[in-house]
Amino acid sequence: MPIVELQHVRKAYDTKIAVADLSFTVEPGSMFGLLGPNGSGKTSSIRMMIGITVPDSGTVSLFGQPFNRDLLKRVGYLPEERGLYKKMKVMDQLIFLGQLRGLDATIASKRAHDWCDRLGITPSIDKKTEELSKGMQQKIQFISTLLHEPELIIMDEPFSGLDPVNAVLLMDTLVDLRKQGRTILFSTHRMDQVEKICDNICLIHNSHLVLSGSMREIKSRYPANRVLINFTGNDSFLNHPAIHSAKNYGGHAEIRLRTSGDDGADAQSLLAEAIRTGARITRFEVMEPTLEEIFIEKVSEETGIPAGEKVHA
């Protein structure tokens, strides 16, 4: 039984189509990444999963049942635009949000204290929320999402606006939660962040689904045709026929090979060519394409025009 299931969901605001015919499922206990550039329809999709908006057509199911508000007690939701009561003290705020999700005040208080310990914000719990830094506020909101121990955690851009240390801290926390058997769905426009932690992904672009499936399966669909070379000396090997495109930054080249059936043979012959022409190699790495590269390739395939080099803003 999938935890989240969207079937042919469509949502339009006035003339703008936010989500067009989106279908995917999130399996229990998995980490699911909803990816796409800004304005691609991620937030609109998520809002329909938690009933803030209703799809124009198509169905949303949670925990194997058609959406109803009672199911929300089992969901923890972190919106993209963080919001807390500014004048409220941190602990009061957490207890209040816990109570709204059906917790008893004492249980909410205990769990809130535990979480504050874990994320290192205990010294601030008696302060007013507005006195805290943005990162701290984000941690508080993160905690408020998890207080009622939801089976399904939905987070919209959870890592945006965090410094690298805190982003890793939250990412590790999410990985821990998944180990405990929770199902996690989050959205992000930073595709590089999720490659390591997601089991399954769904890529959307311009309200349309571009790609979905398990991370491993998607990656295996795309051969390792990226080569990174650090070199000194002659760069004439960059004209090798196996090269589809190359960017030469002078001593550092990023190369995309023509996709060919025999795995790795092109890279071997490129290396041989470089050595033969007298380049001195300090690094030679054959890589899988990144998710971002796959995304760009996929989008340009579908639209027939090459997508921008940089996908994220």
Partner 1 sequence: MHNIWLIAKREYLERIRTRAFLIATILIPLFMGAFVFGSGYLASRTRSSAHIAIVSTDSSFSADLRHELQTGKNSGMTVEVLTPTSASNTDEIRANLDRNLQSKSGDLTGYLVVTPAPQPNARPTFTYIPRSAGDISTEDLLSTAIQNVLTREGLGRQGMGSSDIAALMAPVVIDTSKTGDSRAAFGAAYLLFFLMYMVIMLYGMNTARSIIEEKSSRVFEVMLSTIRPDEMLAGKILGVGAVGITQVGVWMLAAAALGSTSLATGLIGSGHALISATQIFFFVAYFIFGFLVYSSIAAALGAMTNSEQELQQLNMFLVIPLAFCFLMIFVIVRAPNSTLAQIVSLIPFCSPLLMNFRISLTTVPPWQIGLSFVLMSLTILAILWVASRIYRVGILMYGKKPNLPEILRWLRYS
Contact 182, 152 (CB under 8 A): yes
Task: Please identify, using beta-carbon distances, which residue of 76 and 215 lies nearer to partner 1.
Answer: 76
Smallest gap from residue 54 Cβ to partner 1 (A): 5
Task: Please identify, using beta-carbon distances, which residue of 52 and 287 lies nearer to partner 1.
Answer: 52
- φ/ψ of 172, rounded to 5, equals -65, -40
By the criterion CB under 8 A, which residues form the site for partner 1? 13, 47, 50-54, 69, 72, 75, 77, 79, 81-88, 96-97, 99-101, 141, 144
> Can you say whether the dihedral through the CA atoms of 65, 68, 73, 75 is positive or negative?
positive
Residues in the chain: 313
Smallest gap from residue 185 Cβ to partner 1 (A): 14
Helices 105-119 and 164-179: crossing angle, nearest 10°?
130
Smallest gap from residue 106 Cβ to partner 1 (A): 15
Kindly report the CA angle at 307 between 296 and 250, in degrees rounded to 5? Answer: 75
Task: Please identify, using beta-carbon distances, which residue of 140 and 257 lies nearer to partner 1.
Answer: 140
Task: Please identify, using beta-carbon distances, which residue of 81 and 309 lies nearer to partner 1.
Answer: 81
Smallest gap from residue 159 Cβ to partner 1 (A): 18
Smallest gap from residue 125 Cβ to partner 1 (A): 17
Contact 244, 258 (CB under 8 A): yes
Task: Please identify, using beta-carbon distances, which residue of 51 and 213 lies nearer to partner 1.
Answer: 51
CA separation for the pair 71, 19 (Å, rounded): 23
Task: Please identify, using beta-carbon distances, which residue of 18 and 296 lies nearer to partner 1.
Answer: 18
CA separation for the pair 35, 157 (Å, rounded): 10
Smallest gap from residue 228 Cβ to partner 1 (A): 42
CA separation for the pair 232, 77 (Å, rounded): 52
Smallest gap from residue 21 Cβ to partner 1 (A): 20
Q: What is the CA 77 to chain-centroid distance, rounded?
A: 15
Task: Please identify, using beta-carbon distances, which residue of 81 and 217 lies nearer to partner 1.
Answer: 81
Smallest gap from residue 50 Cβ to partner 1 (A): 5
Task: Please identify, using beta-carbon distances, which residue of 37 and 150 lies nearer to partner 1.
Answer: 150
